Structure 1
C-alpha cells in the first residue's frame, strides 16, 4: 500500500494551508484593502508665496479614495441654507453677486490641505471680493468622513450652513479652518465643539443657531453637495477653479500664489466692470 500523506491544516475552505477559515482571511483582506485605500490619499505638496515677507506655506490636494460616501446616505431632507445655491451644484456664495469672476472652491472642513489653502489665501480672497472683482462659491464636501470614518466633515458643514442662515458664514467658515483639529481627530463631530467655536463669531451663538446645529437641519443639503463633488472630475479637496478653470496647485505652468491669484483675476476681468451690488449675507 502506498504511503499516505496528510496535509495538515488544508481543507476546501483553506487550500493554501494557512490557519483560519476563508471567511476570516477574506475579512482580513478587506481590512487591509481599506487601510491601503486610506494610505493612498496622496498629499501633493507645492510651495506658495504667502504675504509680503515671502513665507512659504504648504498647500496640496488630498486625492479622493476609499469610501467617498461620507455618511451621505444618513442625511435627511434637502433644506438649503438662506441664499444658497441649490440644484446640481449646491454652494454658498460670498462677495458681490455681480462680480465678473467666480472662484469655485470644493473643500472639506476636516481636510488639512483645505485649511492650508484657506489660511494662506483667505485675506487675498476677501480683498478681491471686497473690490468687486470676485465672488466665491463654496461647495462643501464630506470626503474625510468617508476616508477616515466619523462625521466631523458633515457636522461642520451643517454648522457652516447654519451660520449662513444667520448671515455669518464667512467669519464662521474662517473660524473653523483656523481651529481645525488634526485630521485623525474627529473633534468636529461634536456639536458642542461647533457651538463653542460659534462663540468666537459675534452674534452667532443664538438659540436658532444651536437648534440648527443640533438638529442637523442642512445635513441633506450638505449630502447633495458631496454627491455633486463625487460626480465631478475632481482629484480631491481642495479643488479650486477660477471661471471654471482649475488653478490649484497650478494654472498652466504657473504655481498658485497670492500675487498670481490677483494677476489671474485681473486678466480674467480685463475690460469688465467690478461688481457693485451689495455683498451676500454670508
Structure 2
C-alpha cells in the first residue's frame, strides 16, 4: 500500500474519532441540560405547591388582637351575655344560617332573655359557621363576623336577636350580601355606624370566626343548635325532659335555688 493511501486511512480514522468525540460531548451536554431542566421543573412545582398550601392555610389566630372585645375563655372564642355570678350557665352553639337554630331562638328567646334579665342564667354563645362549608356561600361567615362586630361595641345581644328574628331561608344565603347585615343593624339603637359598616365590609373578625369554627370542629359536637345547661346537654332534652319555655324556667329556677 502506498504511503499516500496509508495517510488517507489514518486521516479518515482521525476524523471518525473526532466525530465520535463531538457526538459524545453533544450527548453529554444534552443529558446535562435535561437534568437541569427536570430539576428546575421540580423546583417550580415545589414553589407553586408551597404558595398554594400557604394561601389556603388559615392565618394564625391571635386572641389578643383578633378577638372582639368582651369575649371570654382561654382563646376568647366565647361571647358571654348576662351576670357571671348566675348559678346557671346556658352554653349555645349556633350558626347564623342554621334553620334549627332559628326555630330554637324564636321559641326560646323570650324565656332565655327573661331568665338572663333576672340574673338567673348567663348565656355563653359560640358563633359557628359550618353551613357555608356544606351548602356553599358565605352567609354564615358574614353573619358571624357581623355578630363579632356588634360584640366589639357592646351590641351583640340585641343584634343577635335581630338576626334570628329576620333569618332568611338557609338555601337563599341572603347574608352573602353584607349590605343586608348592615341594614339589619339599623334595628339596634346605636349600632348603625360607619365603624360597624367598615367592620362588616372589611371582615375585621374573620380570623376569630375561623378560630371559633375550628374549636367547634374539635369539640365533638356535630350539629347546631347544641345547647348545654351547666355542661349537660339540654337540647332537645335535659335529663329526660323536652326543652320548652316552661321546662327551661323550671330547670334554671331549680339550679338558682340551690
Sort the TM-score into its range (normalised by shorter chain).
0.7 to 0.9
Q: Give 1 or 2 for the bigger CA radius of gyration.
A: 2
Partner residue of 2:127?
140
Match of 1:265 among 245, 252, 255: 252
Question: Is 1:141–1:229's contact at 8 Å kept on the other side of the alignment?
Answer: yes
Partner residue of 1:174?
161
Structure 1 residue 217: Cα displacement: 1.0
Which has more strand, going by share of residues?
Answer: 1
Partner residue of 2:200?
213
Partner residue of 1:120?
107
Partner residue of 2:43?
none
Distance 1:173 1:76, change over 3 A: farther
Partner residue of 2:23?
none
Is residue 193 of structure 1 aligned with residue 180 of structure 2? yes
Question: Is 2:102–2:165's contact at 8 Å kept on the other side of the alignment?
Answer: yes
TM-score (norm 2): 0.74
Partner residue of 1:110?
97
Whole-Å separation in 1 of the counterparts to 2:79 and 2:244: 24
CA deviations on 1:52-82 (whole Å, 9 max, x unpaired) are: xxxxxxxxxxxxxxxxxxxx95567541111
Question: Is 1:80–1:86's contact at 8 Å kept on the other side of the alignment?
Answer: no
Whole-Å separation in 2 of the counterparts to 1:155 and 1:260: 33
Question: Is 1:89–1:228's contact at 8 Å kept on the other side of the alignment?
Answer: no
Match of 1:232 among 204, 210, 219: 219
Partner residue of 2:70?
83
In structure 1, the gaps of 5 or more residues are: 1-71, 272-282
RMSD over aligned Cα atoms: 1.6
Structure 1 residue 143: Cα displacement: 1.6
For 2:123, what is the secondary structure of its paired residue? Answer: strand
In structure 2, the gaps of 5 or more residues are: 1-55
Partner residue of 1:279?
none
Question: Is 1:89–1:225's contact at 8 Å kept on the other side of the alignment?
Answer: no
Whole-Å separation in 2 of the counterparts to 1:251 and 1:224: 29
Whole-Å separation in 2 of the counterparts to 1:159 and 1:128: 25
Higher relative CO (Cα under 8 Å, sequence separation at least 6) belongs to 1
TM-score (norm 1): 0.68
